[in-house]
C-alpha cells in the first residue's frame, strides 16, 4: 500500500449508514444479562485509621522503583479491562503505551496546546521502560479536519513492522458530551499519523453502533501490505431487539483508509442465550470480549458469555474462537465445560450452583494451549457463610491439547478498592491479567488485592491498602509458583498493567500503573483519600520493573494413584459427550472408543497432559447408535466407562 509512505496528519470519515442519535450513554455499554454475576468482588472502603495511628505505622519500602512517565487529566485513560494500552514488540525489544493528555479544557479553558484529555499520544521505550521517548501526538481532536466532539477515551495500541519501520496501529472509543460517538482508528510511523472514524454501520439491513469500551486491536503485514483488526461488542440503536444484542464483531482494514465491519457467523448473537429482560428495552447482552491474541501463525479471540452450545445455558463461561487467515474467517467457539467447575467446587466443599466465575484476560501459547485467568467466588447468599470465610480465588482455566482443566493460582480477599466520587465505580475489579513470555517457557499472572498491616503495638489492621501480586508457572509444569507481593507499599496500588506478552527475562518484567498526583499540603489521611480519586484529580503514569523469578514453583509430590474418573455425560449421547477425570501427576493419556466386541472405533486423545481436573470432548454425531466402551489408559492402567449413543 503506497499511501502509507506518504501520509501525514490526515483524517477520513467513512460513509455513514442510517446514523442515529440514539447512541450509548456513558456506562450503559457495561450492562449484561448475566445470571451468575456474583463472581464480582465486593467494593469496600479501606480501613479507617486515625492520623496518629497512620503516622506511627512502621515504614514500608517500595520494592518496585516506579518512575514518572507522564501525566493525565484523569485516570480514565487506562481504566477498563476492555482496552490494551501497554504492549511489547519483542523483535525490536520495544515497549509502548498509548495515553490521553493532561489538560482538561473545562478546568483550564485558556490552554491552547495539544496536550489535552481528548487527544492521543504514543510513548515508546527500547530498554524495557527505563528510558522513554517524548509523547508523540497520534490524534488531535481539535484539528480542523476532525469532526467536532469526537473525543478519545480508553485507547489501545499494537506495534508491528512494515517496510522495516515500526508502525503503531491504535483504536479508541470516542465520546461527545455524555454519549459514545464511535471509534477512532489510526496508524502512526515516523512520518506522522493517519486517522479514520468508525460510526454506525449496517449489516444485513440492520444498523449497529460500536458500543462500549472494547478496543483490543492486532496488526501485522500480509502480502507486503499492513493490516489491522479491532474487535468489539456491537448493539442495535435503542438496544433492541434482544435477539441481536449479543453480536460480537470486528472491523478490518488493509489500507487504513477503509475499515470493513463483519459479524463472523461463529460470533453472532444466535450463538448466545437471548438475555431476559422485564422491560425489553435495557440493552442487555449475554456475551463479552476477553481479548485478541496472536500465537503460532493464528489469531485467537477470547470471549465470556452464556453460550447456547454450552452444557449449561444458565452460567457464563469462557471460550475461544480461532482464525487461520489473519482474522478473515473464524472457527466456532471452543467452550469450557461447566463440569470443570462442578468437579473443582466439589474439591472445595461448595456446591457448584453457588460458584460464579468471571474472566478479564487470556494468554495463548504457540502450540495452541490457551489459558484464561478467572475469578472464582462463592455466593454467600446461598451458602449462608460469612463473606470473609467464603471461597475467593484467582484460577487458571485452560485448554491443553484436547482437554480443558483448571488450576488454582491463589486465594484472595474477594474485595476491591472503592473509589471516591459518585460515578467512580471500580471498572477493573481485581485487575487480573495473564501473559506468557515470548519464548513460551513461562506464564505470569498479575492481580491487585487488599493487604493487612500491623501497627507498632502488634495490632492487625484489616484491608489497610492494596498491593500488586504476581505468580509464575513454567509452561510444562502443572503448578503455579509462590505468590509474591511486588510493591509492599503504603500507597493504594490500582490501575495496573503488564504488557500483552512478556520479555523472556523474568528478572526484568515491566509494569505500568496510574497514581493520583499528590498534593504537598495534604496530611496523611487526605493523601490516602486523594489516591482513591479518579476523575476529579490529575494522575501520573508510572512505570517500573520487577523480578518474578522468586515465584517459580517446586513440583508437587508424586501421587501413585494415576486416575480418578468423575463422569461421562450426557449419557446417552447424541452429538457429543464429555469425560471428566482427575490426574494427580503429569502423564501420557490415551482415550479410545471401542464397541462391546472390542473393535476400536476411534482414538479420542493420545497426548501428554498436566495434572489436575480435565474434561475431554468425545464427538458422537457420526458414530452409529449403540453401546460402546470408553477406555482411558494412564501409566499402563486402564479404566473403562460404558457409553450409550442414541440418535
Angle made by CA atoms 431, 434, 435, in degrees to the nearest 5: 140
As a whole number of angstroms, the distance between CA 218 and CA 229 comes to: 5
Rg of the chain over all Cα atoms, to the nearest angstrom: 25
pLDDT band at 564 (very low <50, low <70, confident <90, very high): confident
Strand segments (E) across 240-286: 248-253, 260-262
**Coil vs helix vs strand at 471:** strand
Beta strand 355-364 with 370-378 is antiparallel
All residues at 6 or more sequence positions from 544 whose CB lies less than 8 Å from its CB, including other chains: 64, 65, 66, 67, 129, 510, 511
Q: What is the pLDDT of residue 621?
A: 92
All residues at 6 or more sequence positions from 76 whose CB lies less than 8 Å from its CB, including other chains: 100, 153, 154, 534, 535
Question: Is residue 570 in some structural domain?
Answer: yes
Of 233, 251, 285, at which residue does a domain stop? 285
Of 254, 285, 316, at which residue does a domain stop? 285
As a whole number of angstroms, the distance between CA 550 and CA 498 comes to: 18
CATH of the domain at 631: 2.60.40.2550
Q: What is the pLDDT of residue 34?
A: 37
Q: 342-356 pLDDT, tens per residue?
A: 999 988 999 999 999
As a whole number of angstroms, the distance between CA 256 and CA 227 comes to: 8
Q: Of 366, 344, 101, 321, nearest to 229 (Cα)? A: 321
Range of the domain at 223: 1-30+76-285
Q: 290-327 pLDDT, tens per residue?
A: 999 999 999 999 999 999 988 676 789 999 999 999 99
All residues at 6 or more sequence positions from 435 whose CB lies less than 8 Å from its CB, including other chains: 361, 363, 443, 444, 498, 499, 500, 501, 502
As a whole number of angstroms, the distance between CA 380 and CA 391 comes to: 9
Question: pLDDT at residue 280 above 70?
Answer: no
Question: Is residue 489 in some structural domain?
Answer: no
Q: 387-414 pLDDT, tens per residue?
A: 999 999 999 999 999 999 999 999 999 9
**pTM listed for this prediction:** 0.85
As a whole number of angstroms, the distance between CA 116 and CA 121 comes to: 10
Q: 498-545 pLDDT, tens per residue?
A: 999 999 989 899 999 999 999 999 988 898 899 999 988 999 999 999
Contact criterion met (CB below 8 Å) for 157 and 169: yes
Residue 105 DSSP class: T
Question: Is residue 152 in some structural domain?
Answer: yes
Q: How many domains does one find in the chain?
A: 2
Contact criterion met (CB below 8 Å) for 241 and 250: no
Q: Give the pLDDT mean for 115-122.
A: 96
Question: Is residue 400 in some structural domain?
Answer: no
Question: Is residue 422 in some structural domain?
Answer: no
Three cell numbers at 14? 467513512
Question: Is residue 632 in some structural domain?
Answer: yes
Q: 433-444 pLDDT, tens per residue?
A: 999 999 999 999
Q: Is the peptide bond before 241 cis (omega within 30 degrees of 0)?
A: yes
Question: pLDDT at residue 462 above 70?
Answer: yes
Phi then psi for residue 464, to 5 deg, are -70, -45
Q: Which residues pair with 448 in a beta bridge?
A: 468
Residue 533 DSSP class: B
Question: Is residue 448 in some structural domain?
Answer: no
As a whole number of angstroms, the distance between CA 302 and CA 141 comes to: 32
All residues at 6 or more sequence positions from 133 whose CB lies less than 8 Å from its CB, including other chains: 123, 124, 125
**How is 621-639 classified by DSSP, letter by letter?**
TTSPSEEEEEEEEETTEEE
CA torsion through residues 318, 323, 327, 329, sign: negative
Count H helices and E strands in the chain, helices first.
4, 41
HSE-CB for 523 with a 13 A CA cutoff: 8
Residue 160: CB atoms within 10 A of its CB come to 20
Q: Give the pLDDT mean for 79-92.
A: 95
Question: Is residue 187 in some structural domain?
Answer: yes
Q: Give the pLDDT mean for 99-124.
A: 95
Element (H, E) at 321: strand 317-323
Q: What is the pLDDT of residue 541?
A: 97
Of 285, 318, 349, at which residue does a domain stop? 285
Amino acid at each position: 500500500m503506497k499511501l502509507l509512505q506518504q501520509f501525514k496528519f490526515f483524517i477520513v470519515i467513512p460513509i455513514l449508514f442510517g446514523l442515529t442519535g440514539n447512541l450509548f450513554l456513558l456506562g450503559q455499554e457495561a450492562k449484561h444479562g448475566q445470571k451468575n454475576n456474583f463472581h464480582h468482588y465486593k467494593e469496600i472502603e479501606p480501613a479507617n485509621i486515625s492520623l496518629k495511628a497512620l503516622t506511627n505505622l512502621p515504614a514500608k519500602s517500595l520494592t518496585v522503583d516506579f518512575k514518572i512517565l507522564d501525566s493525565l487529566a484523569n485516570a480514565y485513560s487506562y481504566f477498563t479491562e476492555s482496552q490494551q494500552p501497554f504492549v511489547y514488540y519483542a523483535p525490536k525489544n520495544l515497549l509502548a503505551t498509548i495515553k490521553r493528555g493532561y489538560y482538561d479544557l473545562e478546568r483550564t479553558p485558556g490552554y491552547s496546546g495539544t496536550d489535552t484529555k481528548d487527544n492521543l499520544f504514543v510513548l515508546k521505550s527500547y530498554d524495557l521502560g527505563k528510558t522513554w521517548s517524548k509523547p508523540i501526538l497520534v490524534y488531535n481532536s481539535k484539528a480542523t479536519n476532525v469532526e467536532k466532539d469526537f473525543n478519545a477515551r480508553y485507547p489501545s495500541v499494537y506495534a508491528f513492522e512494515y517496510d522495516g519501520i515500526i508502525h503503531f496501529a491504535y483504536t479508541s472509543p470516542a465520546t461527545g458530551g455524555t454519549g459514545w460517538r464511535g471509534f477512532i482508528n489510526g496508524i502512526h510511523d515516523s512520518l506522522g499519523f493517519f486517522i479514520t472514524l468508525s460510526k454506525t454501520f449496517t449489516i444485513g439491513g440492520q444498523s449497529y453502533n460500536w458500543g462500549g469500551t472494547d478496543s483490543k486491536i492486532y496488526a501485522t503485514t500480509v502480502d507486503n501490505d499492513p493490516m489491522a483488526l479491532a474487535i468489539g461488542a456491537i448493539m442495535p440503536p435503542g438496544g433492541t431487539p434482544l435477539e441481536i444484542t449479543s453480536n460480537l464483531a470486528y472491523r478490518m482494514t488493509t489500507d487504513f483508509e477503509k475499515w470493513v465491519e463483519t459479524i463472523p457467523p461463529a460470533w453472532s448473537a444466535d450463538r448466545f442465550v437471548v438475555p431476559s429482560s422485564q422491560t425489553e428495552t435495557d440493552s442487555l447482552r449475554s456475551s463479552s470480549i476477553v481479548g485478541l491474541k496472536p500465537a503460532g501463525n493464528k489469531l485467537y479471540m477470547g470471549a465470556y458469555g452464556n453460550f447456547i452450545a454450552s452444557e449449561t445455558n444458565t452460567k457464563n463461561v469462557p471460550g475461544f474462537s480461532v482464525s487461520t487467515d489473519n482474522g478473515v474467517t473464524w472457527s466456532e467457539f471452543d467452550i469450557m465445560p461447566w463440569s470443570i467447575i462442578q468437579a473443582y467446587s466439589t474439591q472445595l466443599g461448595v456446591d457448584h450452583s453457588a460458584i460464579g466465575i468471571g474472566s478479564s484476560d487470556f494468554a495463548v501459547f504457540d502450540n495452541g494451549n490457551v489459558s484464561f485467568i478467572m475469578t472464582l467466588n462463592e455466593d454467600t447468599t446461598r451458602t449462608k457463610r460469612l463473606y470473609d470465610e467464603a471461597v475467593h480465588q484467582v484460577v487458571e482455566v485452560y485448554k491443553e491439547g484436547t482437554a480443558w482443566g483448571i488450576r488454582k493460582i491463589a486465594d484472595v480477599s474477594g474485595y476491591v478498592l472503592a473509589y471516591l466520587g459518585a460515578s467512580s465505580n471500580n471498572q477493573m475489579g481485581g485487575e487480573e491479567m495473564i501473559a506468557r513470555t515470548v519464548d513460551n517457557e513461562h506464564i505470569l499472572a498479575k492481580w491487585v488485592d487488599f493487604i493487612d498491616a500491623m501497627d507498632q503495638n502488634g495490632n492487625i489492621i484489616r484491608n489497610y491498602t492494596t498491593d500488586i501480586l504476581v505468580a509464575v508457572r513454567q509452561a510444562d509444569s502443572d503448578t503455579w509458583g509462590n505468590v509474591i507481593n511486588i510493591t509492599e507499599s503504603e500507597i493504594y496500588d490500582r490501575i495496573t498493567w503488564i504488557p500483552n506478552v512478556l520479555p523472556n527475562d523474568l528478572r526484568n518484567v515491566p509494569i505500568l500503573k496510574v497514581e493520583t498526583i499528590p498534593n504537598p499540603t495534604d496530611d496523611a489521611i487526605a493523601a490516602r483519600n486523594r489516591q482513591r480519586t479518579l476523575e476529579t484529580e490529575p494522575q501520573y503514569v508510572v512505570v517500573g520493573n520487577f523480578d518474578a523469578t522468586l515465584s517459580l514453583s517446586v513440583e508437587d509430590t508424586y501421587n501413585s494413584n494415576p486416575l480418578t474418573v468423575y463422569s461421562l455425560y450426557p449419557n446417552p449421547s447424541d452429538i457429543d459427550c464429555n469425560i471428566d477425570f482427575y490426574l494427580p501427576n503429569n502423564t501420557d493419556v490415551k482415550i479410545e472408543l471401542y464397541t462391546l466386541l472390542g473393535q476400536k472405533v476411534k482414538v479420542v486423545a493420545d497426548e501428554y497432559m498436566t495434572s489436575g481436573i480435565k474434561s475431554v470432548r468425545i464427538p458422537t454425531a457420526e458414530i452409529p447408535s449403540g453401546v460402546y466402551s470408553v477406555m482411558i489408559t494412564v501409566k499402563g492402567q486402564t479404566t473403562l466407562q460404558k457409553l450409550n449413543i442414541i440418535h
